[in-house]
Amino acid sequence: MENLSIEKRYKIISDENKELKKRNQKLEEQNTQLLSIIENLSEGVMFANNKGDFIMVNSEARRVIYKSDIGINIADAFKNIEVFDIFGKQLAFKDFPSVRALRGEKSKNVRIFVRHPNKEYYAEISSTPIYNAKGDLTIIVSCFHDITETINQSRKIEEQKKELEAIIENIADSIAIFDDKGKYILVNKTSRELFHASYNSMDNISEGYDTSEFYDTYGKQLDSENIPANRVMRGEEFKNMRVIVKSPNKTLQVDINGTPIYDSNGKFSLGVLCSRDMTDYFKHEEITRSRYEFLNNMVNTFDLPVVRLTCPDFKIVDINKKGLSIVESLKPKIKSITQIKGNKIEDLFGKFKSSEYYKCISEVLKDKKIKYLNKRSLILNGNEVYFNVVFEPIFEVNSEIREIVILLIDVTPEIKSNMVMKKALKMQGEFLVNVSHELKTPLNVIFATAQLFNLYCTSGSLDDKKDSIIKYIESIKQNSYRLSKIINNIVDLSKIEAGFYKLNLSNNNIVEIVEEIVVSLTNLTDSKGLNIVFDTDCEENIIACDTEKIERIVLNLISNAIKFSDKGDEIFVCVKNKNKNKFVEISVKDNGIGIEEEHLDIIFDRFSQVDKSLSRNAEGTGIGLSLVKSIVELHGGSIYVESEFGKGSKFTVRLPKNKVLNENMLYSSNVRSRDENIQVELSDVYS
Ligand code: ADP
C-alpha cells in the first residue's frame, strides 16, 4: 500500500468505505428486520443493558407487563407488583430471573405468579445474560409468556381429577385400575376393604391371587387365565361375572365387570375391574329361598288344596300335592305338577270363564277383597265332597293384585254330620211321637179303669162286679208293665250313653238261661198260635255274663219275633258254640214278615223303626234293638241280622266265652224276677 499512489490508495479506501457503507446499510436493514420480528413475536421479549436499563421491550411484553409500569430500568417494572413462585412463595426482587441474569445467572422456564393492583397473571420466564468478545456482560434478554390460561386449565383438570378420585374412592362398588403390567394404579376404599387389606400402590394384580382363590358359582376353582383381572389384561370386556372369592379370613360372592382401556394407538393401557359384594344379597336370597322352600314344603304337606294364580291371565304358578290330587281326579290325563304349572285355568277347565269360580275371581279383582264360595260339591273318585272355596288376593307393593291364592277347605264331614244331625233330630221327633203314643195307650187304659172303679164305688156295685174288677186289675198290671218297659228302656239307653250302665258279671250256663226263657214263653206263643222251638249243640256252656241283661236281650229278640210273625209261624231259638269254642252264638229266627234290605242297616240305630204301617201288629218305640246291641257290646260281643222281606228274620248274638274270677253278684232290690221280666219285656205282645 505504501508504494501505491495516493489516487490509488484513495480509491481503495473509497471502495472500502463504500463496501462498509453497504454492509452497514445491510446490517441496519437486518437489525430493523430483527427488531420488527422481535416486536411482533407472540412471546414477550425485553432487552436490558448491564445496568438493567431497558434497551427494548416488545409489544407482547408491554401487553403482559403493565404498560405504564415499564420505565427506564427493570426496577421500574417491579414497583407496582408482587411476584410469587408457583408454590405461592413470594420472590424477592433480587431473585427475579431478569435480575439474576444481571448477575450472570441463567434461568429457564421459571413459572411465576404476578400480582398487580389491576391484574394478576401467571407467566413463564427465561432470562439469559449476553457477554461481549471480551467476556463482559453487556446485555440481558428475558423472554416470557402468559400461562394464566394454561395454569387455570390444569388447576381445573387437577380439581376434576381429585373430585373424580374422591367419587371413585367413596363409591359403594369396588374399583381397581391397573396398568398394562398389572400394577395397581388405583384401588378404592371398598376394594381395599374387600380384597386388598394391605394394599400398597406397588402391588401387582398377581399378588392378590397368591392369597385368594376364585371359584365359579358351581364351586369349581377358576384357572389362572379365567381370573377376572387376567381376562381384562387379555382385552376381554365382561359384565356381571359371578365369582366366589376365598381369602384366608373370608369368603365373598361378587359380581364383577371388567373393561380394558386402549390408548390412541390401540394398545392396552389400563384395566378396570368394578365389583359388587353380593355376599349379603345372596345370603338374604338364600334365606328367602329356604324360607320359601320351607313354606312351600309346608303348603305341600297341607291336607288342604292350595293353588296360586297369576293376575290377570289366571296362569297356575303353583299347586300343592293335595291340589294336584284333586286336579288329577278331575282330569285323569294330568299326572304331574309340571303339566299344570304355567297353564291357563281355562286351558285346563274349558268352561272356566262361564263358571261361578271365574265370576268370584273377577269380583276379587274388582273389589280387591277376599271372596268365598261356600259348600260347593265335587265328585271325587265317586264320592261327593263339599268344599268352602277361598279366593285370597296377594298384593304388590303398589297395591296391585299380583296373585290369587285359592284354598279349598273340605267341609264334607261338617256337612255330612249336619245331615246326620238333621236325620237324628227327625228320628228323635218321630220317637217322641211314638213314645207319647206308647205312653198314652196304657195310661188311657189305666185312667178309664180308674173311672170305672169310681163308678162302681159310687153306685155301690163293687161286690157285684168283683169278677170284672179282677180282669181290670190284670189290665192295669199289664199296662203298667208296658209303661215300665218304655221307661226302663229310655233310662237304660241314657245310662249307656252316659257310661253309667254297669254289668253284674258272673259265670253262668248260657244254654240253661236261654232254654228257661223259651220254656216260660211257650204259653204265650201257644196263645198266639206260634210254635217256639229251642235247640243247642251242648247242654252246658258257662260264660261270664249278666243274667238279667242276657234275659233282656233274648226276651227282646223273641218279643220282636212274636210281634212280626203271624199265626202258624215258627220261632226258632238256638245256642251254639262257634269259632272253635271261642264264642257262643244265640240266634232267634222267625218266618214272619222279614225286613226290607234297605232297612237292615238302620234297625239297630236309636229310635229307628221300619215304617209302622208295614209292621202290622207292632207296637214299640224303636229303642229295643239299639239297647240290645249296646248290652251285647258291653259283654264284648256283637249282633247282626239276616232277613228276607216276606220270609222272616234271623238275629244272631255272638258272646265271647270268657269267665270272671271274681263274680260280681251284687243284688239290687230293683232286680226283678224272671217272670216279672217276661211280663215287662213282652208287655207289648200280651194282648
Ligand atoms: P220296637 O220297640 O219298635 O220294636 P226295635 O228296636 O225292637 O223297636 O225294632 C226296630 C224295628 O226293627 C222294628 O220297628 C221293626 O221294624 C224291625 N224289626 C225288629 N225285629 C224284627 C223282626 N223279627 N221281624 C221284622 N222286623 C223286625
* CA of 512 relative to ligand 1 center, distance in Å: 26
Please state, in angstroms and rounded to a whole number, the distance separating the CA atoms of residues 56 and 293.
92
**Which ranges of the chain have pLDDT less than 70?**
1-2, 66-69, 196-202, 208-210, 607-620, 663-672, 686-687
Let me know if residue 580 belongs to a domain. Answer: yes
Q: Is the CB of 684 under 6 A from ligand 1?
A: no
Find the CATH number of the domain harbouring 63: 3.30.450.20
Q: Are residues 405 and 455 in the same domain?
A: no
Q: Are residues 105 and 243 in the same domain?
A: no
Which of 603, 621, 649, 683 has most ligand 1 atoms within 8 Å of its beta carbon, as the pocket-test mutant? 603
On the 0-12 / 13-18 / 19+ scale of CB atoms within 10 A, 682 is: buried
pLDDT of residue 617: 44
* CA of 467 relative to ligand 1 center, distance in Å: 36
pLDDT of residue 208: 61
Which of 427, 530, 560, 681 has most ligand 1 atoms within 8 Å of its beta carbon, as the pocket-test mutant? 560
For every residue of 140-185, which 3-state class applies, written as one string? EEEEEEECHHHHHHHHHHHHHHHHHHHHHHHCCCEEEEEECCCEEE
Region of 31 please: left (phi>0), alpha (psi -120 to 50) or beta. alpha
pLDDT of residue 664: 61
Q: Is the CB of 564 under 6 A from ligand 1?
A: yes
Q: Are residues 446 and 421 in the same domain?
A: yes
Let me know if residue 578 belongs to a domain. Answer: yes
* CA of 559 relative to ligand 1 center, distance in Å: 9
* CA of 613 relative to ligand 1 center, distance in Å: 13
Q: Are residues 625 and 504 in the same domain?
A: yes
* Residue nearest (by alpha carbon) to ligand 1 atom 7: 624
* CA of 603 relative to ligand 1 center, distance in Å: 7
Instruction: Provide the grid cell at 49.
Output: 443493558
pLDDT of residue 610: 61
For residues 276 and 261, the answer to whether their CB atoms sit within 8 Å is no
Q: Are residues 113 and 185 in the same domain?
A: no
Find the CATH number of the domain harbouring 521: 3.30.565.10
Q: Is the CB of 621 under 6 A from ligand 1?
A: yes
* CA of 27 relative to ligand 1 center, distance in Å: 160
Q: Are residues 420 and 406 in the same domain?
A: no
Among 367, 388, 410, where does a domain finish? 410
Which ligand 1 atom sits nearest the alpha carbon of residue 489? 2
Let me know if residue 14 belongs to a domain. Answer: no
Q: Is the CB of 683 under 6 A from ligand 1?
A: no
Q: What residues contact residue 683 under an 8 Å CB cut-off, 6+ apart?
A: 478, 479, 481, 482, 484, 485
pLDDT of residue 453: 86
* Residue nearest (by alpha carbon) to ligand 1 atom 16: 610
Provide the β-strand partners of residue 177: 186, 272
Let me know if residue 9 belongs to a domain. Answer: no
Q: Are residues 198 and 67 in the same domain?
A: no
Let me know if residue 376 belongs to a domain. Answer: yes
* CA of 633 relative to ligand 1 center, distance in Å: 19
Burial 139-148 (b: 16+ CB within 10 A, else e): bbbbbbbbbe
* CA of 618 relative to ligand 1 center, distance in Å: 8
Q: Are residues 275 and 325 in the same domain?
A: no
Which of 441, 562, 625 has most ligand 1 atoms within 8 Å of its beta carbon, as the pocket-test mutant? 625
Let me know if residue 623 belongs to a domain. Answer: yes
Which ligand 1 atom sits nearest the alpha carbon of residue 592? 24
Q: Is the CB of 615 under 6 A from ligand 1?
A: yes
Which ligand 1 atom sits nearest the alpha carbon of residue 565? 24
Q: Is the CB of 175 under 6 A from ligand 1?
A: no
Let me know if residue 367 belongs to a domain. Answer: yes
* CA of 448 relative to ligand 1 center, distance in Å: 29
Q: Is the CB of 610 under 6 A from ligand 1?
A: yes
Condensed to tens digits (0 to 9), the pLDDT of residues 255-296 reads 999 999 999 999 999 999 999 999 888 888 889 889 888 888
* Residue nearest (by alpha carbon) to ligand 1 atom 19: 560
Q: Is the CB of 622 under 6 A from ligand 1?
A: yes
Q: Are residues 543 and 576 in the same domain?
A: yes
pLDDT of residue 614: 38
Domain count, the chain: 5
Among 410, 432, 450, where does a domain finish? 410
Let me know if residue 166 belongs to a domain. Answer: no
DSSP 188-257: -HHHHHHT-TT--TT-BHHHHHHH-EEE-TTSPBPPGGGSHHHHHHTT--EEEEEEEEEETTEEEEEEEE
* Closest to 568 in 3D by CA, of 533, 534, 528: 528
Please state, in angstroms and rounded to a whole number, the distance separating the CA atoms of residues 70 and 440.
149
* CA of 492 relative to ligand 1 center, distance in Å: 18
Q: Is 525 helix (H, G, I), strand (E, B) or coil?
A: helix
Q: Are residues 528 and 430 in the same domain?
A: no
Q: Are residues 179 and 268 in the same domain?
A: yes
Q: Are residues 515 and 647 in the same domain?
A: yes
Q: What residues contact residue 490 under an 8 Å CB cut-off, 6+ apart?
A: 435, 621, 623
For residues 44 and 58, the answer to whether their CB atoms sit within 8 Å is yes
Q: Is the CB of 649 under 6 A from ligand 1?
A: yes
Among 123, 152, 181, where does a domain finish? 152
Q: Is the CB of 592 under 6 A from ligand 1?
A: yes
pLDDT of residue 665: 57
Q: Is 52 helix (H, G, I), strand (E, B) or coil?
A: coil
Q: Is the CB of 77 under 6 A from ligand 1?
A: no
Q: Is the CB of 456 under 6 A from ligand 1?
A: no
Tally of CB atoms within 10 A around 375: 13
Which of 441, 530, 615 has most ligand 1 atoms within 8 Å of its beta carbon, as the pocket-test mutant? 615
Q: Is the CB of 44 under 6 A from ligand 1?
A: no
Domain of residue 230, residue span: 171-283
* Closest to 620 in 3D by CA, of 476, 494, 434: 434
pLDDT of residue 615: 43
Instruction: Provide the grid cell at 573.
Output: 231259638
* Extended beta strands in 381-530, E state: 383-395, 401-410, 506-509
Q: Is the CB of 553 under 6 A from ligand 1?
A: no
pTM (predicted TM-score)? 0.47
* Residue nearest (by alpha carbon) to ligand 1 atom 4: 620
Q: How many residues does the chain have?
A: 687
* Residue nearest (by alpha carbon) to ligand 1 atom 12: 603
Q: Is the CB of 648 under 6 A from ligand 1?
A: no
